[in-house]
Chains A and B, each alone.
Chain A
Amino acid sequence: MNDNISKVDTSTDIVYDVQGLNLWYGDKQALQDINMKISKNKITAIIGPSGCGKSTFIKTLNRMTENIPEVRTSGKILYYGDDIFAPNVRAEELRSRVGMVFQKPNPFPKSIYENVVYGPKIYGIKNKKLLMEIAEESLRRAALWDEVKDRLQENAYGLSGGQQQRLCIARALAVQPDVLLLDEATSALDPISTSKIEDLVLELKKDYTIVMVTHNMQQAARVSDITAFFLLGEVLEFGETESVFTAPQDKRTEDYITGRFG
Chain B
Amino acid sequence: MDENVKWNHGFKIDIDKHRVSKRVNLNNRVKNIFAFSTLLVMVVLVVLLYDIIRESIGWLNWEFLMKNLSIFPEKAGIRGAILGTLYLMVIVIPVTLILGVATAIFIEEYAKDGLLQRMIRVNISNLASVPSVIFGLLGLTFFSRALGLGSSILAGGLTMSLLVLPIVVVAAQEAIRAVPMFLREASYGMGADKWTTIWRVVLPVALPGILTGGILAISRAIGETAPLVVLGIPTLIMKIPTTLMDDFTALPIQIYYWTLDTVLTPEYAYLAAATIVVLLITLFLLNFSAIIIRNKFQKKL
Interface of A with B (CB < 8 Å)?
A: 62, 64, 67, 69, 92-96, 99-100, 102, 104, 106-110, 118-119, 121-123, 155, 157, 168, 171-172, 175
Contacts and interface: CB of A to CB of B under 8 A. Distances in A.
5 contacts: A96-B191, A99-B189, A104-B182, A106-B182, A109-B204
Interface of chain B, main secondary structure: helix
B113 to A, nearest CB: 7
CB-based closest 9 A-B pairs: A96-B191, A95-B191, A100-B189, A106-B182, A119-B190, A92-B191, A106-B186, A109-B301, A122-B192
B51 interface: no
A102 B191 CA distance: 15
B261 interface: no
Interface of B: 112-113, 180, 182-183, 185-193, 196, 200-201, 204-205, 300-301
Given A106-B183, A122-B196, A172 B189 contact: yes
A67 B189 contact: no
A107 B189 CA distance: 12
Contacts of B190: 95-96, 99, 118-119, 122, 171-172, 175
Contacts of A100: 189
A241 B112 CA distance: 43
B189 to A, nearest CB: 4
Given A99-B189, A121-B200, 18 more contacts: A64-B188, A67-B185, A69-B113, A92-B191, A92-B193, A95-B191, A96-B190, A104-B182, A106-B186, A108-B183, A108-B186, A108-B201, A109-B183, A109-B205, A119-B190, A122-B190, A122-B191, A172-B190
A59 to B, nearest CB: 9
A118 B192 CA distance: 10
Contacts of B201: 108
Residue with the greatest number of chain A CB neighbours at <10 A, chosen from B183, B191, B196, B200: B191
- Which of A62, A69, A106, A107 has the largest count of B CB atoms less than 10 A from its CB? A106
Contacts of B200: 118, 121-122
Contacts of A107: 186
A187 to B, nearest CB: 14
Contacts of A118: 187, 190, 200
A95 B205 contact: no
A183 to B, nearest CB: 10
Contact of A102 (B112, B182, B192, B196): B182
A130 B191 CA distance: 20
Contacts of A94: 191
Contacts of A69: 112-113
Nearest to A92: B191
Contacts of A121: 200
